[in-house]
A and B are shown apart, each in its own frame.
Chain A
Amino acid sequence: GENVEQHPSTLSVQEGDSAVIKCTYSDSASNYFPWYKQELGKGPQLIIDIRSNVGEKKDQRIAVTLNKTAKHFSLHITETQPEDSAVYFCAASIYGNLFFGTGTRLTVIP
Chain B
Amino acid sequence: EAEVAQSPRYKITEKSQAVAFWCDPISGHATLYWYRQILGQGPELLVQFQDESVVDDSQLPKDRFSAERLKGVDSTLKIQPAELGDSAMYLCASSPRQGLENGYTFGSGTRLTVV
Contacts and interface: CB of A to CB of B under 8 A. Distances in A.
B84 interface: no
Interface residues of B, number: 23
B108 A42 contact: yes
B97 to A, nearest CB: 11
Contacts of A34: 101, 104
Contact of A93 (B42, B48, B101): B101
Interface residues of A, number: 23
Contacts of A93: 100-101
Interface string B35-76: 000001111110010000000100000000000000000000
Given A32-B101, A51-B101, A103-B40, A97 B45 contact: yes
A103 B42 contact: yes
A88 B48 CA distance: 23
B25 interface: no
Contact of A102 (B41, B107, B108): B41
Contacts of A45: 106
A79 B73 CA distance: 42
Nearest to B99: A96
Contact of B101 (A41, A44, A49, A102): A49
A100 to B, nearest CB: 3
A66 to B, nearest CB: 14
B41 A97 contact: no
Given A41-B111, A43-B106, A43-B109, A100 B101 contact: no
Interface of B: 4, 6, 31, 40-45, 48, 56, 91, 93, 99-101, 104-109, 111
6 contacts: A43-B91, A46-B104, A96-B99, A97-B48, A98-B45, A100-B44
